[in-house]
Amino acid sequence: MFKFLKEKLSKALNVFKEKAEEEIEEPKEEIKEEVKEKVQVKTEKKKEEKKEEKSVEREIKEEPKKEEKISFIQKIKEKVTTKVIDEEKFEEMFWDLELVLMENNVAVEVIEKIKEDLKMDIVNVPIKRNEISEIVEKTLRKSLEDLLNFEEFNLVEKIKNNDEKPFVIVFFGINGSGKTTTLSKVANLLKKEGLSCVLVAGDTWRKAAIEQIEDWANKLNIKLIKGQYGADPAAIGFDAVAYAKKNKIDVVLMDTAGRQHANVNLMDELKKINRVVKPNLKIFIGESITGNDAVNQAKEFDRAIGIDGIILTKFDADEKGGAVISVSYVTLKPIIYLGCGQNASDLKNFDKEEVIEAILA
C-alpha cells in the first residue's frame, strides 16, 4: 500500500544523509590526518621510551598517560567531526525530502511541520558525523508518529460501551467523497457485530441521493428513515433518533449532503443538524486521493462542527497515502477506517504502526 512512498522516501533519505555527510566530509579528512600525526608522535615516543630500557614501574605509569592522550585526541576529533549545519544549508538539504513527500501527496503545510521538527534537531546543534543518518531518521519517525498520534479507536467497542441508546453517528464531507457508500459499509459491519441499526437519508438535495441510500438499506436489510427532497435534514434526523429510541435500536447512521467547506450557508445547515440531532460521533469522510486541499477540508469541517473521527475513502485508487498524514495532522483525530472498494465489506482497519513502518522501514 505504501510501497511507492516507502521507496521514494528511502531514496530521498539517502540523498539527504549523503548531503549531510558531505557537509562534514572535508573536516573529516583533516581529523584523520591530525589523528595520524598524533598517533605517530605517540608511537615514536613509545619507541624512545623503550630504548631507554624502562622498568615495569615506568610502564605502569605510562598507562594513565596514554589514556589521557586518547581522550584528548577524541576531544579534538569530536570538535572537528561535529559540524553545525546552518539554516540555509538545511533548507537546501531538505529540498529533496520535501519533493518526495509532495509527490506522495502530503500537504505542503504538513511537510512544513515535518521540516520544523527536523530543523530543531539538526540546525545549529553540534552533530556527530556518524549520527546524522540516525538523527534524521529518528526525527522523521517521531514527526510522523506525532502526526498520527491519536488514541486507538474501536468503533464497535465504543458503541457497545455506550449506556444510552441510540448511539448517533453523522457522516459528512465534500461532494463525491463517498459518504453514502461508507455509511452503508459501516452499517454492514455494525450489523454483523449484532448491533441493530437505522439509516437516515439526510441528503435531501442531490439527485437520487435518497434512492441511493434506499438501495443500500434494502441490500443490507436495514430500516431507512427518509423524507422528501428539499426537506430539512435536521428534522429527518430528529425523527430517526426518536424512532430509534422508541424501538430500542442501537445505532443511528445519518447521511448528509456533500458540501464544499467554503460555502457558509451549507456549513450552517450542517451546524444545525449537529445542534438538533446531537450525534455521539461525527465522522468526516475524506478521500485519500485529495491533495493539498485535504488540509482545508479537514480544518473547516472541524471548525464548523468538530470532527471526532475520520474515514478515508478510495484508498484502492491511490498508493501514495499522503492524505492520511495530512488529514490526521490537521485534526489530530483518529482515522477509524480506510475505504477501499465498492462492496459492503470493503472497509479496512487503520493501523498506525503499520503505516509508519510501511513508510519508514
Interface with another protein (CB under 8 A), residue from 211, 303, 345, 357: 211
* Closest distance to another protein from the beta carbon of 209 (Å): 8
Q: How far apart are the first and last CA of the chain?
A: 13
**Residue 292, interface with another protein (CB under 8 A)?**
yes
Residue 232 cell numbers, joined: 430539512
Closer by beta carbon to another protein, 81 or else 331: 331
Task: Please report whether residue 221 would count as binding another protein according to CB under 8 A.
Answer: no
Amino acid, single-letter form, for residue 1: M
Sole binder of another protein in the list 130, 149, 342, 345 (CB under 8 A): 342
Phi, psi (rounded to 5 degrees) for 275: -70, -45
In the complex, the smallest distance separating the C-beta of residue 273 from another protein, rounded to whole angstroms, is: 17
Compute how many residues bind another protein; rule: CB under 8 A.
Answer: 49
Respond yes or no on whether the N-terminal peptide bond of residue 233 is cis (omega within 30° of 0): no
Whole-angstrom distance, CA of residue 354 vs CA of residue 361: 10
* Residue with smaller CB distance to another protein, 261 or 333: 261
Sites for another protein among residues 96-125 (CB under 8 A): 99, 102-105, 108
DSSP 3-state of 337? strand
Strand partners of residue 200: 225, 254
Please tell me whether residue 214 binds another protein under the rule CB under 8 A: yes
Q: Does 291 bind another protein (CB under 8 A)?
A: yes
CA–CA separation, 129 vs 17, rounded Å?
10
DSSP letter, residue 315: G
Out of 207, 228, 246, 248, the residue judged to bind another protein by CB under 8 A: 207
Residue 61 φ/ψ, nearest 5 degrees: -60, -30
| Residue 226 binding another protein, by CB under 8 A | no
Q: State the minimum distance, in angstroms, from the CB of residue 12 to another protein.
A: 12
Please identify, among the stretches 130-138, 154-162, 172-180, 191-199, the one whose residues bind another protein according to the rule CB under 8 A: 172-180
- The CA distance from 117 to 210, in Å, is 47
Contact 220, 138 (CB under 8 A): no
**Binding of another protein by 297 (CB under 8 A):** yes
3-state secondary structure 180-243: HHHHHHHHHHHHHCCCCEEEECCCCCCCCHHHHHHHHHHHHCCEEECCCCCCCHHHHHHHHHHH
Judged by CB under 8 A, which of 6, 19, 261, 333 binds another protein?
A: 261
36-75 footprint of another protein as x/- string (CB under 8 A): ----------------------------------------
Note the residues at the interface with another protein (CB under 8 A). 99, 102-105, 108, 174-178, 181, 205-209, 211-212, 214-216, 219, 260-265, 268, 287-294, 296-297, 300, 314, 316-318, 320, 322-323, 342
